[in-house]
């Protein structure tokens, strides 16, 4: 498992969320996070297929069904690809954690 922020593998367990999911903390950057299904590894071939389907202007729900990825992951992927605003995202996430 890698840190979602800095990709470090220096991850320690850090209690649980209210929903009983194990929570983790990155010792490198201090980021706290929950292991998430949206972080499932997606193969390059699948990403390339998704890129093609996006160009066809298919709905995200349809692309998710065809490629077998979760809609949440797909939304995140599209956001990263087309709306890269890392600083804004980082601030938002910190507010949510607090």
CB atoms within 10 A of CB 72: 12
Of the pair 25, 47, the CB lying nearest Zn ion is at 25
Q: Can residue 29 be called a binding residue for Zn ion (CB under 5 A)?
A: yes
Q: Which of 1, 6, 59, 62 binds Zn ion (CB under 5 A)?
A: 6
Helices of type H across 1-98: 44-55, 60-67, 71-82, 86-97
What DSSP element (H or E) covers 12? strand 11-16
Q: Can residue 91 be called a binding residue for Zn ion (CB under 5 A)?
A: no
Q: Interface with Zn ion by CB under 5 A: which residues?
A: 3, 5-6, 8, 26, 28-29, 31
């Amino acid at each position: 498992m890698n840190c979602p922020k800095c990709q470090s593998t220096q991850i320690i367990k850090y209690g649980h969320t209210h929903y009983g999911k194990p929570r983790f903390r990155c010792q490198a950057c201090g980021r706290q996070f929950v292991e998430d299904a949206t972080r499932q590894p997606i193969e390059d071939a699948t990403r390339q297929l998704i890129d093609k389907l996006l160009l066809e202007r298919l709905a995200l729900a349809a692309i998710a069904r065809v490629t077998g990825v979760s809609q949440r992951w797909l939304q995140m992927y599209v956001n990263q690809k087309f709306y890269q605003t890392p600083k804004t995202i980082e601030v938002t996430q910190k507010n949510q954690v607090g």
